Structure 1
């Protein structure tokens, strides 16, 4: 069955927009992270949409504002899309959130939580120079052909390891990840 890619994208956005975190699961994840379950990948860059720097809006300062959540959801989806060509990173994906957004166009610091066990299964050495170069290259490659209308990180300022699991992330990626993998498969076949 051939499904047009734009239909897959619309379905993935619809599903991702409904993705929420069960606080019980999150509390469990936070406890597990103290035991070393997740790596915190911290990416900072300038937000873009349709090839242009995203203009700053004061509402991006407030983490409870729906516009901030929209920004966070879009950037997390675009980072996950960038990771899809690397199966180990895509399957290790667990949570994503914007830690903060600041003025200067719109500069976002994003935390992507990767499951240590899945990285190990994929023979990925989190924290190595090769790992950070790979992540930066995937994000840079994504900027060459981003999904129209989706906010993404363009100018990547830094990719580093961060040890803190700060606040609740809206992204529990289990169902949306399946949709994205199907979308990626359909694009390539």
Structure 2
């Protein structure tokens, strides 16, 4: 069976992760309102957003190919942090994460023969961050479009004291869970 799927995401990080495990795909990104609902838990939020993305993509394309969508949220003290609007917002996020442990929720939704979902929850511990390094990090441009204002796969890695869980989940696509869902759709990534 072909390994090709449709990736309902414009994220270059998700493309890199699929490339890493040898899954071919074509991109059809969908934009939806990603505003958390009132009293929506972080887990319910990422599951809902990933499911809505895959459903909308599947409906628009009317393709037989499985559709993979994902959503990732950085959560501190039960609050979804989102992406920074500007430097002040990004600085506030990084100051809040400084010296603390937060969680990263990554949900994946795969629609093909039915609908399957999985979630990865990873704990990430930051060391204490100085104001000057937060400003220097912002100047790299890396944090501007990232949940929680950092990229663990880039310069932001120097802030991370430890992680418990899925590194790829923090990047944006938990590969263990992705491979399991693909296998349920008949796509075994280790098949030649």
TM range (shorter): under 0.3
Greater helix proportion: 1
TM-score, normalised via structure 2 length: 0.24
TM-score, normalised via structure 1 length: 0.24
